[in-house]
Amino acid sequence: MYRIVADSSCDFSSYPEIDFRSVPLTLSTAEREFTDDCNLNVRDMMDYMTSYKGRCQTACPSVESWLEAFEGAQELYVLTITSGLSGTYNSACLAANQFLEDHPDVKVRVFDTKSTGPEMRLLMEKIVELKSQGKSFTEVCKEADAYLSTTRLFFSFQSLHNLAQNGRVNKVLASALGMLHISILGTATPEGVIEPIGKSRGENALIRSFVKEIEKAGYQGGKVRICHADNEALAQNVTSALREKYPNLDAFIYPAGGLCSFYVENGGIILGCEC
């Protein structure tokens, strides 16, 4: 038996038919704290954050919360949001080392996905697939690493306010946005930071740039996973544009969890794909 543990930026708090645990990040203002778990009402949190005039911060999971999620497992695959933007990978490694001291026979691998959301989702699905083929811990680690180097993450924002406020993108870049109907398309670099690719005016132009950039990255009809911050229509429209070219497209659209919603902001979508 194996267990997959991922931080809550993966957008899921359960995964059918496997032993899965999600470890929440937290979001807070001076007045309130939100835990990004299955009890969080993302829409209420987003409404509150939008109306709140002060600063909103996020924090990575504590070592203790990882340890709690590891308890009882024999073979652990731990997936984290990029170490380029969060201390989550670091806290997961600290927890893994501590867990191994107390349980020397347990197998643990922590993956720094250099990404988040839908690309983490793709990796989770890959690990499940490899385990269902009866692969050993070592084989899974090796093949999962190879897989991760073939997947990519793209996203669109209508506002970079929360990323800029938390020092995760340049403030100059953020202030260039905020104009009506302008979206920024970005990607995760191999180092796991945000790289803006370009601006689009209007949804049709944005959809065209999504398709163009994904294909430029080598996309040839592989799996696509998209999470959206209250914008299922955009996710559907990007999927339809891809399906015109790739009729057998394997796509899955779902609402973003608290962490991804907060940073991609209302209207944004995050797309992970096999390239």
Task: CB nearer to ligand X90: give 140 or 186.
Answer: 186
- Distance of closest approach, residue 141 Cβ to ligand X90, in angstroms: 22
The residue ranges of DSSP E strands in the chain, in sequence order, are 3-7, 19-23, 26-28, 33-35, 57-59, 75-80, 107-112, 151-157, 182-188, 194-201, 224-228, 251-255, 269-274
Task: CB nearer to ligand X90: give 81 or 148.
Answer: 81
- Distance of closest approach, residue 168 Cβ to ligand X90, in angstroms: 5
β-strand partners of 195: 187
Binding residues for ligand X90 (CB under 6 A): 25, 58-60, 81-82, 85-88, 115-116, 153, 155, 168, 188, 192-194, 260, 263-264, 270
- Distance of closest approach, residue 196 Cβ to ligand X90, in angstroms: 11
Q: State the angle between helix axes of 137-148 and 117-132 in degrees (0 to 180), rounded to the nearest 10.
A: 140
Cβ neighbours, 10 Å, residue 254: 16
Task: CB nearer to ligand X90: give 65 or 88.
Answer: 88
- Distance of closest approach, residue 205 Cβ to ligand X90, in angstroms: 20
- Distance of closest approach, residue 274 Cβ to ligand X90, in angstroms: 17
Task: CB nearer to ligand X90: give 140 or 160.
Answer: 160
How far CA 15 is from CA of 114, 121, 125, 274, in Å, comes to 22, 10, 10, 20
- Distance of closest approach, residue 139 Cβ to ligand X90, in angstroms: 27
What are 134's two structure tokens? 């009866």
Task: CB nearer to ligand X90: give 127 or 270.
Answer: 270
What are 18's two structure tokens? 């496997």
Task: CB nearer to ligand X90: give 98 or 189.
Answer: 189
